[in-house]
């Protein structure tokens, strides 16, 4: 229904420091309207696929207001948690119902 893109303001972020995270969702041209409001899940995974931390949140524009062909963009600042890890991080992003998980 929508293609997400997540971009950090820099390639390397130190533990405990802030990072600006840019979220972009391009809603498919033929997407039906969302019947309810969903939340965005954002999972940061280590190289083994283990969950390190999350940035789950309600998007700035509720999904019921997203329209076919629209682009939804916003930025959030996150402080990188103190987590004992050095290396590449995979980011998984999507939508979920806060009512049902």
Strand-strand pairing, 51-54 and 71-79: unpaired
27 neighbors 66 (Cβ within 8 angstroms): yes
pLDDT digits 0-9 by tens, 5-52: 999 887 777 778 888 999 999 999 999 999 999 999 999 999 999 998
For residues 40 and 95, what is the distance between their CA atoms, to the nearest angstrom?
A: 5
Using CA atoms, how far residue 31 sits from 26, 34, 61, 73, in Å, is 10, 9, 17, 18
The pTM of the whole model exceeds 0.95: no
């Amino acid at each position: 229904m929508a293609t997400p893109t997540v971009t950090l303001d820099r390639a390397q972020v130190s533990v405990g420091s802030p990072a600006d995270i840019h979220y972009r969702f391009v809603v498919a041209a033929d997407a039906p309207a969302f019947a309810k409001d969903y939340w965005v899940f954002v999972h940061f995974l280590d190289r083994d696929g283990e969950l390190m931390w999350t940035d789950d949140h309600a998007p700035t524009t509720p999904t019921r207001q997203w329209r076919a062909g629209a682009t939804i963009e916003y930025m959030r600042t996150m402080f990188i948690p103190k987590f004992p890890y050095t290396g590449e991080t995979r980011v998984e992003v999507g939508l979920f119902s806060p009512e049902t998980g």
